[in-house]
Structure formats: C-alpha cells, structure tokens
Amino acid sequence: MPAIEALGHVGVYAEDLMAQRDFYSRVMGLKIADEDLENRGMVFMSADPKREHHEFVLVKGRVTNDDAKVIQQISFIVNSVEDLKEFHQRLKAEDITIDRTVSHGNALGMYFFDPEGNRIELYYRTGFDVPQPHGDPIDMEATAEELLDTARAAIPAS
C-alpha cells in the first residue's frame, strides 16, 4: 500500500490578506517564497524556502459566517525550547494573547490566535514517549531545563 511521507503544506483563506501576510512573515518569521497579490491573491510561505518551497499558503477570499470554525489549529514546530521562549516574548511584545502554554510530555506547546481568529500552536518536540492527550500547564518564564523537567515528569513509569 502506498504511504504518505509527510504533510506538504496547508492553505488558509484570508479576509485581510495583507494583515495575515504581515503576521505570518513579521511576527511568526515565515519567509515569503512567492506571491501573486494582484491576480490570484496568494502568498506562498516557508520556514526554509530552499528546503521546501512552501509549507503554508494564504489565499484571499475567506467566505464563512462570522462564528464558523473552519480550522481546528495550525501547528508549527520550533527547533528549541529557547526558540519557544523567544516566540513567547515576541507574541507578548505584539500584544497577542497567549491562550495556553502546556507540556504534552512529548512536546511543549503554546497556543494563540492569528489576526483572523485561527488557532495557532508553536511547539517543541521533546522526544519523550507520553500517551496523549496530556497537558500540564507550564510557565514560559521558567528555564528551558525546568520546562523539560515538567515534560519528563509525564513519562509513565515502566
């Protein structure tokens, strides 16, 4: 049977394409790989365009009721606990409300919403084998080692 290797990219409709473009490039740090703002209203973004042309696409034209929930969450992996902590500071500096900071045991996660109300998660993979769902609140002001200790404490006793 054929197998899927990995998720290639996610496309999200945007009411205000330029505000979303600014948020994901300036605040989240994604790089714009290509865009067609005039005709198609599309922005192709990547964490590393040389490795993967685009992992995230914004497309003008979100059409839903104001209370419709069309995305459960969009999750981005960070390379280190320190990166997660730096994003925490960046989001606070941008006056973005951080909804939840949690240890899933197998990951440390931080949840918030983009300018159009899409739930975003930034997470660091700890490598610890912890059954899911699991969630212990964490304080992003703690040291990286303290945060990892919280995740490590969730490993089931063998």
pLDDT tens digits along 57-68: 999 987 766 667
Q: Cα 124 to the chain's mean position, in Å?
A: 10
Is residue 30 pLDDT above 70, yes or no? yes
Q: Is the pLDDT of residue 43 over 70?
A: yes
pLDDT of 4 over the 80 cut: no
pLDDT in tens, 118-140: 999 999 999 999 999 999 999 99
The pTM for the full model equals 0.85
Residues facing 42 on adjacent strands: 36, 59
87 Ramachandran zone, left/alpha/beta (phi>0; psi -120 to 50): alpha
Measuring CA to CA, which residue among 78, 63, 85 is closest to residue 144? 85
